[in-house]
Amino acid sequence: MIEQQLRTPFTDLVGVRHPVVQTGMGWVSGPRLVSGTANAGGLGILASATMSYEELESAIVEVKSRTDQPFGVNLRADAGDAPQRVELLIEHGVKVASFALQPKPELVKRLKDHGIVVMPSIGAAKHAVKVAGWGADAVMVQGGEGGGHTGPVPTTLLLPSVLDALQGIGSDMPVVAAGGFFDGRGLAAALTYGASAVGMGTRFLLTADSAVPDAVKQLYLERGLTDTVVTAKVDGMPHRMLRTDLVEQVEESSRWKRLGPTTKRTLEFKKDSGMSWVEIAKDGRAMKKASGRTLGQMALAANTPTMLKAGLVDGDTDAGVLASGQVVGLIDDLPTCEELIDRVVTGAVAELRRGASYVV
């Protein structure tokens, strides 16, 4: 395990040794992966969107039993029980609260009042300016190369636009760059742009500490740079995943052919989550208000948890989907979190020194 070699505003803010973040991936970012990342000196983030309240509390307790280092929890800002989950983070002294959508100002204030770092994920410069005005401590910027829900703008364009926008309002908020990162060269590039850390999802999914079934990991390792696809037909929003037979079938099917499977998966999600129909409807209304989804898109959204669980937990790629960043085509091994972070950081230091040698 290497000592700290890079000190950035993000490492100072969060209290980690290395400017590397393991993102909160549903069904993937559990206690083993998060604690492995934390013990290696990075920031591990629990994915709570696929956990019940009780499961989240159990996961937090387990992470704390495995590490004494800082870690975070990713929350759904539009979830009906988001305020209760915020209180859970406060109770257990979690260091970072990250959000996939913009959190409400009152949630930001509540977390900050208790010393918890607030880090929303954003996909546009204007969103960074907005959350900065609400008091967020950092932002994660994911470009279109990233896995899961993603936008059309690549990291190399989105990142500088966000940095410039924040500079324009006089904000020195640390920015975490995500989407397309997997090695030391990427970390060096992100730091050179002006980011304070990188976030990696697919790269951490493909580690020895990830609980994803080995056969599924092998499927990822066999894929190339053109073997992902962005589709809105799984859950109504652009979603990058591996190109599989199931995804091809979904892409080619009509809305009416998808109606039966969608209804079935909605029932499965209700059973797995323990939510009542009233709670699901309440979450749906919040989702519609927060993201502007149509009723049809909200119905499709029920596909996501069950289809991801089938692929990433059960290993059934005939019934499930596999979220993935484009970077999957450049990954060919399964290191531990410690091995991964050590080589990313040492690689970045070497690249930064090489770049500095060009200055006259």
Q: Give 274's pLDDT tier (boundaries 50, 70, 90).
A: low
Identify the band that residue 281 occupies on the pLDDT scale cut at 50, 70 and 90.
low
Indicate if the pLDDT at residue 327 is higher than 80.
yes
If you average pLDDT over each of 240-254, 273-287, 307-321, 344-358, which comes out highest? Answer: 344-358
pLDDT at 305: 80
pLDDT of residue 303: 62
- Residues contacting residue 273 through CB under 8 Å, at least 6 positions apart: 52, 305
- In this predicted structure, the answer to whether residue 333 has a pLDDT above a threshold of 50 is yes
How high is the mean pLDDT of the chain?
90
Confidence of residue 121 (pLDDT cuts 50, 70, 90): very high
**pTM of the model as a whole:** 0.88
Give percent of the chain with pLDDT exceeding 90.
75
- Give per-residue pLDDT as tens, 46-69: 999 999 999 999 999 999 999 999
256 pLDDT band, cuts 50/70/90, is very low
CA angle 338, 339, 341 (to 5 degrees): 65
Distance CA 287, CA 78 (A): 6
Q: What is the mean pLDDT of residues 133-146?
A: 97
Average pLDDT of span 130-134: 96
Q: What is the pLDDT of residues 108-118, one digit of tens each?
A: 999 999 999 99
Q: What DSSP state is assigned to residue 321?
A: -
Is the torsion defined by CA of 145, 149, 152, 158 positive or negative? negative
Would you say the C-alpha torsion 255, 260, 262, 266 has a positive or negative sign?
Answer: positive
| Of 276 and 29, the one with more pLDDT | 29
Q: Measure Cα distances from 197 to 68, 146, 327 in Å.
A: 21, 16, 17
Note the pLDDT of residue 197.
99
